Structure 1
């Protein structure tokens, strides 16, 4: 048994039913604890998210970034290759019904990501003059467990900053070299230069990049998908029937084309949904922690929109492209299945369209994951560790484009699981605080009454800031 087999075996245990139950169960718990907040406060979530989108002059600095910039940074990490390849894998392995279970995971995941953003805001603090935060900080100051926090930090730096970014750069190298016949090594060097120019500018340049690129890439992909879906309008209703009926009878939904069971439909839909929107994984709180808002509840509602955009819109459109074009009949999986759908819709241009989307999706994810890792490098070593961290990230980007990444994927999944566990412990351990802050937002802040958790002009009123 080689290293790949050993790591795969470990992942089959780590990412088995227990982990999926914990992630989904946490979402169910917070949904009931917060009284279905993702439904009750949907109008407010849209208002909080988009009210400042056209506001000029709100630059990110050592005091943080705007609420929309924080959301853009979170979405930059959430919307990636999983939205293209992950959705297709779920359909290929679990049938169209897997998308229904993906929606279910997204619905409950909204309450989890709200809870993460709440804690990130409550326990954010200044490190070397800059506002920062994330699970390492709320585990240290909320749970009073610095060892568990250090464990989380090491896991996320390895999972996202290093191995995860190798996988993302590999996706860019494969897509660009395949579509435009460019040597993957040259693609990797080019991507490393672009990333280096962005990250060397610190939080200001990262926020500026994500708030511009994320809306562009989302609109580009959404419009392309809608064109294909509506050009096959007669298949839209049958596609939704396949999704809903297939969730409970996968074999009948596809006429036995995919030999999936209800168990497989549920498993792959839940798993791909959770991996895609990252709810409960402890990654997006790093972005939401540095948002300049008056109350933690505001950023919690903004965080909800990340799941809606990622799972509710982008993942759903990928599924509809595959189903309305009949690409499911091709017997493909992963990115190849998604590419088949766009090629059936756009002809030869479809491969270029997917290559362009993969480039921007993966590039934005690299930037988002770099930022999450940077927050934890600061937690462990302060600013003095950033130089070496940046150098390793850029090296991983170049190396990632030239190698087979099956083992790297498996290792990234291992450390992903290891960062989920301490984050879920923190969320469950501070459930009462999350409920308290939410009630303060609804009963006091929204009604312009004195609030215990409101920010002053330059800092949050809590002893850890």
Structure 2
């Protein structure tokens, strides 16, 4: 088994090196800049609007049923975004690429926010009704917008394997390492407990997933940010030097000459993408579940999610680690580096706090990731046996991730994340004009002082729409 994992890790690392060095980083930056440009930097112009629409209540369908609200859909995507990438992934990026990696995480978040807006708006436009809920995402807009079901099936298979299985192994891996490091708990039994808890949630459906996520994510994120802010205030005199160190390492001549500039850039972008998921095609699956009056509303909310994830939570972890200096004086990596850094600031109780935080963050990610797989299995074929097998596989991978080596899990995550992003970016580039037309419609209605409402015929020539009424019917959209 050990030899197999070693060979697997070497093969995956080789593929990752080709894809991330020569293909994906350039593609992500070019696509993000393109989407930001054609929307005239919607992530800046509509920043205030994001906070206004997040409090919108879910629209009520003609049969009187209320779907998920904007905030609940936001929490499902945040549950997947806010996880090990924020605590362990940031530490891995700094350990391998130095403080300069943080700058590249910020940059990919800002640029990627444009991609996030496009993909999530498209998910809303092409969503479908599933009983009293909505489903949607890249597979759906590939089929209905591009008329390429084969492309949708390919994406659905990859995201199901990537998020439901591989990424959930990453989450459980980090939970087991954190609890093992803090309390010496056996990683196998940690995996057993996680598997049981996961089963209890994922067999309960999307509403239970939304309810769990809308409680865990906001509370834990706020507590973590308060702690980070406290540490920042206690070290306020060192903050200017820290910012200078980040920028110097991101652009410094010394780093370029030593070859670490490339490491900072690559690690920052890889771990940043893993954390905020902008352009990957994952968040649109959650965006589609919301019952909103206009697709652009959820596009804006998911764009806000990128900023919350990277600019707030990832930065909080980065500041804790850099201010501690532990990244430069130890061989620690991942969650154990974050625990050591926090301990240097607040004392011996830090590992326990991080263990609880990572447990809640990562567990919410497990259930959020699971949902992405479920909705894509439903896209391929509605089959109860297939869904049951998938749920069992998710539980099994949670247990596997709890005991396997960290490097294998992260490398598999990088590989499938990259493949997903390439397929999704091709699709949203081809469909960008639809999202742009929706933004224009939204902007025009806001200028008239209206609360924007979208209809299937709001965009001339739009086809493949199932969940939006035509303007002529004058009924509330469902």
Q: Assess same fold via TM > 0.5.
A: yes
**C-alpha distance in 2, partners of 1:291/1:441?**
17
SS at match of 1:291: coil
CA–CA distance in structure 1, aligned partners of residues 272 and 82 of structure 2: 11
Tell me the number of residue pairs that the alignment of Structure 1 and Structure 2 aligns. 454
Q: Is the 8 A contact 2:56 2:69 kept in 1?
A: no
**1:168 to 1:146, Cα distance in 2 relative to 1, 3 A:** same
Residue equivalent to 1:316: 315
User: Kindly tell me: are residues 449 and 320 of structure 1, through their superposed partners in 2, closer, same or farther at Cα, counting changes over 3 Å?
Assistant: closer
Check whether the contact 2:401–2:409 (CA below 8 A) recurs between aligned residues.
no
Deviation at 1:132, TM superposition (A): 0.5
Asked whether the 8 Å contact 2:177–2:335 carries over to 1, the reply is no
Q: Are residues 381 and 51 of structure 1, via their aligned partners in 2, closer, same or farther at CA, if it must alter by over 3 Å?
A: closer
1:377-417 deviation per Cα after TM superposition (whole angstroms, max 9, x unaligned): 11112142222211111122123212325334333332222
Do residues 31 (structure 1) and 36 (structure 2) align? yes
Pair 45,13 (structure 1): closer, same or farther in 2 beyond 3 Å: same
- Give the conservation status (yes or no) of the 8 Å contact 2:65–2:132: yes
Distance of 2:194 and 2:335 partners within structure 1: 20
Report the alpha carbon displacement of residue 261 of structure 1 after superposing the two structures with TM: 3.7
Query: Hey, what does 2:469 align to over in structure 1?
Result: 461
Shift of 1:6: 1.7
Q: Report the counterpart of residue 399 of structure 1 in structure 2.
A: 400
2:134 alignment counterpart: 131
- RMSD of the alignment, in Å? 2.7
Q: Name whichever of 100-109 and 177-186 sits farther off.
A: 177-186
1:203-222 matches, within 5 Å, as: 203-222=206-225
CA deviation digits over 1:300-357, x for unaligned, max 9?
Answer: 1111111111110011111111122222332443333222210101221111122111
Distance 1:337 1:408, change over 3 A: closer
Q: Secondary structure at the match of 1:369?
A: helix
Aligned partners of 1:426, 1:302: CA distance in 2, in Å?
A: 21
What is aligned with 1:347? 347
- Cα shift readout 1:98-142 (whole Å, capped 9, x = no counterpart): 212211111111111111111000000024664200100000011
For 1:6, the equivalent position in structure 2 comes to 11
1:143-194: CA deviation from partner (whole Å, max 9, x where unpaired): 1111111110110111110122122112112211221232222222221222
Q: Equivalent residue for 1:151? A: 154
**C-alpha contact 1:110 1:279 (8 A) present in aligned 2:** yes
Quickly say closer, same or farther: Cα 1:3–1:182, change in 2 above 3 A: closer
The correspondence for 1:42, drawn from 37, 42, 47, is 47
Structure 1 residue 13, shift from structure 2 partner: 1.4
SS in structure 1 of the partner of residue 244 of structure 2: helix
Q: Is the 8 A contact 1:62 1:130 kept in 2?
A: no
Q: Distance in 1 between matches of 2:259 and 2:340?
A: 21
Tell me the SS of whatever aligns to 1:15.
helix
Question: Quick check: 1:249–1:261 contact (8 Å CA) kept in 2?
Answer: no
CA distance in 1, matches of 2:138, 2:167: 19
Tell me the secondary structure at the aligned position of residue 403 of structure 2. Answer: coil
- Contact 1:84 1:315 (C-alpha < 8 Å) held by counterparts: yes
Report the TM-score when normalising by structure 1.
0.91
In 1: Cα distance, 2:376 partner to 2:45 partner: 34
Give the Å deviation of 1:51. 5.6
Seen in structure 2, the aligned counterparts of structure 1 residues 389 and 6 have a Cα distance that, compared at 3 Å, is same
Q: 1:271-350 residue pairs with structure 2 within 5 A?
A: 271-332=270-331, 333-350=333-350
- Contact 1:128–1:382 at 8 Å: present in 2 too? no
- Provide the residue aligned with 2:182 in structure 1: 179
Change (3 A) 1:405 1:263: closer
Question: Which consecutive residues of structure 1, in runs of 5 or more, have no partner in the other structure?
Answer: none
Classify the secondary structure of the residue corresponding to 2:54: helix
3-state DSSP class of the match of 1:247? helix
Cα distance in 1, alignment partners of residues 239 and 348 from structure 2: 23
1-side partners of 2:40 and 2:246: how far apart?
28
The CA distance in 1 between the partners of 2:133 and 2:325, in whole Å, is: 51
Structure 2 residues without counterparts, runs of 5 or longer: 1-5, 458-465, 472-477
**TM-score computed with the length of structure 2 as normaliser:** 0.88
Return closer, same or farther for 1:455/1:272 CA change in 2, 3 Å cut-off: same
* Among 23, 27, 52, the residue aligned to 1:22: 27
Deviation sequence 1:76-102 (CA, Å, 0-9, x none): 111111112222222233322221221
Structure 1 pair 241–439 and aligned structure 2 pair: CA distance change class (3 A): same
Pairing partner for 1:141 from 132, 137, 144: 144
Task: Tell me how far apart the structure 1 counterparts of residues 300 and 270 of structure 2 sit (CA, whole Å).
Answer: 24
Specify the alignment match of 1:102 in structure 2: 105
Shift in alpha-carbon separation, 1:23–1:301, aligned structure 2, 3 A: same
Q: What does 1:57-68 correspond to in 2, within 5 Å?
A: 64-68=67-71
CA–CA distance in 2 between the matches of 1:401 and 1:322? Answer: 24
Q: Secondary structure at the match of 2:68?
A: coil
| SS of residue in 1 equivalent to 2:251 | coil
